[in-house]
Structure 1
């Protein structure tokens, strides 16, 4: 291999490496943003320490833009930061920018993820959240620690006083403490007995619950519980319907009793008059009962003398027999009256001399007319 060939190959390699590097830079360097017009929004902060033009703007740790410039908001006060956002990141109008400072003083504008509203447009103004300075947090923590230590010191002094009081109480009330300790021992013994009884109770409960038959009964009871609840609910509904019906009846009854209440005076007057009439009727009935109960009276004799009752019974029987025997006579009288009405001449001399068959006969005028026609 000659030196010229070596140089040619090295040149080809350098060209290929340069083209590959350029392609990788264009692929991963997001140079497409240079041909896209950014969305410029204004963020107002009460203070913006550490913010510089070209500073990063992120959302959930992903770069979405840079800081264009920073200035003072003379109308509202505070800092006025203009931010260029990449168009492909559609930031919602409810997103809130916040300043994030690290321990080394690096400042980043972090946007929260908005979920509602429209996307941001050029010139929109957002209200930023103030930054959290770690040094200020440490300073406040130091102040709180000093306050806590002072409180702990005061608490220690108070606990020392409590210990002194307890020591004095123990020295002065030693006999009482011994008696209290003895009573505590008795109480502990009673508590031990109680716990023994409780253990026995739990053992009996375990024995009862461990019985398969009891478990089966308990399972049946638990299975029947939903049905019982359903029946109870149905009963409550029925009671509610009954109460509503009673309420409706009471309302209707109120409508009925309202006219009675308005006519109460007249009704009471009528009831009073009715009671007076009933009282007079009761007096008349009393007099009538006294008349009946008089020993010599007719009604009393009729009620008490059986001979009079028998006579009345026999008289009624005789009257019934008489009426039965009078029926043929009445029938003959009806026939006689009918014949007399048809032939009144039967009551004359001819009727007395000439006998009759006792039955209805055709009219004589009709017979005489037929005889005359026959002679002609």
Structure 2
């Protein structure tokens, strides 16, 4: 190949390299993007550290545009900051709301590249930025017009204020440096306390007079005493005499319970019998009262006629008193619970005494029937002919009451 051919090849290579470079610049954002529809908004920040032309703009981590230009505002006074206005070129396919919080942060700690982000706002941030706008008073509450202004979508030429700057990580480390010394002091104190604790623990473990050694000896003695107690219990339980006694008791217990039940039944029957005896004695006394009442009313008129009857009644009452006394003592002994029931069941003499008393009561009751009949006839005769009684008493009895 001649020299002209070499020159032509070099020229083609240079032109191709330039075309490729221009294409790469257009695609990677170093020059304006001519293939997408975009709109421009202005955001005011107090400062814009690390921000330059073509700094990326992101929303939820997705790139939606770039910084087109930076405008530093002049100070109105020495001690005031004019702030920085950033012109953001945003892709029209992404919607950005006026209420979203624009913030400058660090995209990479290594390269210290800045990034502009639109972040979801908090309620306090919305109240600070939109309270008192859209003609509403600043009353500390977001009214409907203020909420509408916050929910508006940014369009070409809009202006927003209130941009913030996120704390730099290195600055945060610088602020932490002041507290690092106190943290080290706290760690040192904790290490000293751990050392003291380990020494106390070593003292408790070491030597025959240590606290842990004493506790160990006490536990050993306790287990020894417990072992002795278990041995004694085992010897007691394994005693054949005790086992035999328990077996005999378990065999005889049902019979004892049955016998106790029978004794209780007999006791109830005996109490019912004595209750009937008491009621019978009460009836006898009532009959005597009914019998003597007419004599009390006409005692002067018939005294001479019934003298023999009164003597018989006196002897009858004497016999009744002699019978009622032992019966009353017997009832008192039963009700006082002084072992009378046991004596009645075990002592034959006491049982026969009670039987004899009941027989005497029956005999006296039989003897009382004719006397009561005579008294009834006498009272009937006295009621029908009181004068005849006195006449018979003066002239002499004709033999019998009838």
* TMscore range, shorter length: 0.3 to 0.5
Bigger helix fraction: 1
Give TM-score, length-normalised by structure 1: 0.37
Give TM-score, length-normalised by structure 2: 0.35
- Larger RCO (alpha carbons 8 Å, 6+ apart): 2
